[in-house]
Chains A and B, each alone.
Chain A
Amino acid sequence: MSEKVKFTIDGKEYEGEKGRLLVDVAAENGVYIPVLCHWKDVKPAGSCRICTVKVNDRYMTACTTPIDANMTVENKTPELEDIRKAIVEMLFVEGNHFCPACEKSGDCDLQALGYLYQMMVPRFPYAFERRELDAKSPKIFLEKNRCIFCKRCIRMIKDDKGRSFFAFKGRGKHLEITIDEKLAANISEELAQEAMKICPVGAILRKEVGFSTPIGQRKYDKVPIGSDIEVLQK
């Protein structure tokens, strides 16, 4: 039997199993903490920092923080919302995110966070780095302009021997996402679809299908990101 602990988020008390990740417990209780790199039940990477919260007055990433008794968590405060907005803006200027030309537009988590925080214009200058599109694998387009380095694909899309289809190459500003050509030559239909689904942006796209959902019916056309979690609020 795991121990239950009580903690607070924005002054409201919640209960959860000790040691479980704050972001997951919060979500189950109807408290939305935004994520880009996190995926439930996958080992957290803590790479995007969008889930930054204040735990007992210290900045922590909710996706790597296990809950414990007497934790006081700040989540929806103007300060944290501005930090998160700044992170979204940084991600937008760091890559080349041309929403009007992107197939993921309307279903994109990064874009949806831009909507949530009403990002009218990023406060940082655009980098406009030159990046390539890798179309060599038969089922997947790898659009490096849009990658936000969340590592979801590297951590989750693996073959039956546990080998990743995706990997990072380079360091610092030269870091880029790559796909293993040999492995990807035989990637299954389902796994290719899954890769596109888990990608929070439009960096991984299925070939031969596209723009299948009309504008107005896409995931974030009518409702903000996180509203599926917030309806669970008791």
Chain B
Amino acid sequence: MSKPIVATASLAGCFGCHMSLLDIDDRILKLIELVEFNKSPIDDIKTFTKHCDIGLIEGGVCNTENLHVLKDFRNNCKILISVGECAIMGGLPAMRNGISVRECLEEAYINGVTVGENKKKIMPNDEEIPIITDKVYPLHEIVKIDYYLPGCPPRADLLWQAVVALVTGDELNIPYELIKFD
């Protein structure tokens, strides 16, 4: 039987959740025996080359590119998992929610106290740049999400136990210390 295939992505996240995945230390050797990685920053495969069993997504949706990647993952993964606070509730990027996009951009590029010289008052507006969404969305408000792994980042042991449980079909009993929102 071929190994289950895992894909990962970071949308509006900080890559902390991916770092936490690397924090499983030498168990990463067991992990690559258990699963095969496809599209992921870990192996640098940029596009899906086959249908995947598990998709792990960190970060919420803050722009049209995130939206595209998220839908691509939903179409290509049997099981999609929200990993970390940003994927689950928008996280720190969602602190801009409730503030208009114009106000945010003006603060960042024109009015902010740390803005350098911008006499022409230019805000990024190139068609190559993904459009910022009106607010940062949690993943499950856009596509169906099957499981959630909270934490900022989710503890390495939580990621490890969850992935192993999914792959082996064993029951997952999460100890109290592993479910944290920070």
Q: Which residues of A contact B (CB under 8 A)?
A: 92, 96, 98-102, 105-106, 111, 114-115, 118, 120-122, 125-126, 128-131, 215, 221-224
Please tell me if B1 contacts chain A, counting CB pairs below 8 Å.
no
Q: Which of B141, B152, B177 contacts A125 (CB 8 A)?
A: B141
Q: Which of B138, B145, B152 contacts A126 (CB 8 A)?
A: B138
Chain A interface helix/strand/loop/mixed: loop
List B contacts of A131 (CB < 8 A).
98
Q: How far is the CA of A96 from the CA of B149 in the complex (A)?
A: 20
Distance (Å) between the CB of B17 and the closest chain A CB?
Answer: 12
Give 29 CB contacts A-B under 8 Å: A96-B94, A96-B95, A98-B91, A98-B94, A98-B95, A99-B85, A99-B152, A99-B181, A100-B152, A102-B182, A105-B181, A105-B182, A115-B180, A115-B181, A118-B179, A120-B88, A120-B179, A121-B88, A121-B148, A125-B141, A126-B97, A128-B94, A128-B135, A129-B98, A130-B98, A130-B99, A131-B98, A222-B176, A224-B176
CA distance A47 to B169 in the complex (A): 43
Find out whether the CB atom of B150 lies under 8 angstroms from the CB atom of A120: yes
Contacts of A126 in B (CB 8 A): 89-90, 94, 97, 138, 141
Number of A-B pairs whose CB atoms are under 8 Å? Answer: 73
Distance, CA A222 to CA B180, complexed state (A): 10
Give the chain A neighbours of B92 by CB distance below 8 A.
98, 100-101
Complex-state Cα separation, A223 to B176, whole angstroms: 7
Q: Which of B1-36 contact A (CB under 8 A)?
A: none
Partner of B148, one of A100, A114, A120: A120
* B74 contacts chain A at the CB level, 8 A cutoff: no
How far is B148's CA from A114's CA once the two chains are assembled, in angstroms?
14
Q: Is the CB of A114 within 8 A of B181?
A: yes
Chain A residues with CB below 8 A from B180, complex form: 115, 221
Q: Please report the C-alpha to C-alpha distance between residue A101 and residue B89 in the assembled complex, in whole angstroms.
A: 13
Interface centre among A100, A105, A215 (most CB of B within 10 A): A100
CB <8 Å contact, B140 and A121 = yes
CB distance from B136 to the nearest CB of A (A): 9
B66 interfacial contact with A, CB 8 Å: no
Residue of A nearest to B138 (CB): A126
